[in-house]
Amino acid sequence: MVALQIMRAQFPHIEKVSFQPFVLQSQLYSNIKDMTQVDRELESLRRDRVLRIFKLNTGQDDHAVMFMDDYLNQIEHVVKRMEVKTQDDLMVFEWFKTHVIHSKHQHWSSRTLFTSVPGGKVLKGLSQGRNEVLSFLNRRKYKEMMLAPLEKKCLRFSPLDMRFHLRGLIDSGRLSRDIGIS
């Protein structure tokens, strides 16, 4: 729980996209060495409705972990952004919150999580940002770079910051701690 809260606090603020923070499950695995313990605690928190876990459609085995309060805030933001004009539309969101969110315990797909993001910028940016970082390192002579200058690089195709992508790539094993391609 502490690792989740710390990582949530480090989630980058995205200017043009109003999106609540999430943590990749692989990021938790790298910070807490006992993967079984991570899975047990996540499952317990999911059953207690403290958080939601979403399977991401990134072509990898990515799972986003989001606190339930953040997810409910995301839904509220969507309702406001859509400028719900009729009571019927508002009732659909209320029904979803009452009967679906609080009753279903299984993992959700990224479609459920990211339908509120214009054009799926965050999900698309997750994949494109990873590819951009790997492409940048592939163009280097030895396919490696010091961490500090790499963290200062700006990504063109992702609203997420470089640190978020580096942490995810290192945690998934696609980059080594020496910031070279594995």
CATH topology of domain 2-116: Arc Repressor Mutant, subunit A (1.10.10)
Q: Give per-residue pLDDT as tens, 61-120.
A: 788 888 988 888 887 777 776 665 666 666 666 666 665 666 655 555 445 544 464 446
Query: Residue 40 — very low, low, confident or very high, per pLDDT cuts 50/70/90?
Result: very high
Q: Is the pLDDT of residue 45 over 70?
A: yes
Residue type, position 175, single letter: L
- pTM of structure: 0.70
DSSP letters, 5-44, are HHHHHTSPP-SSS-----EEHHHHHHHSS-HHHHHHHHHH
- CB within 8 Å of 49: residues ≥ 6 apart: 68, 102
Domain boundaries, the chain: 2-116, 122-172
Q: Give per-residue pLDDT as tens, 121-171.
A: 777 888 888 889 888 888 888 888 888 888 888 888 888 888 888 887 877
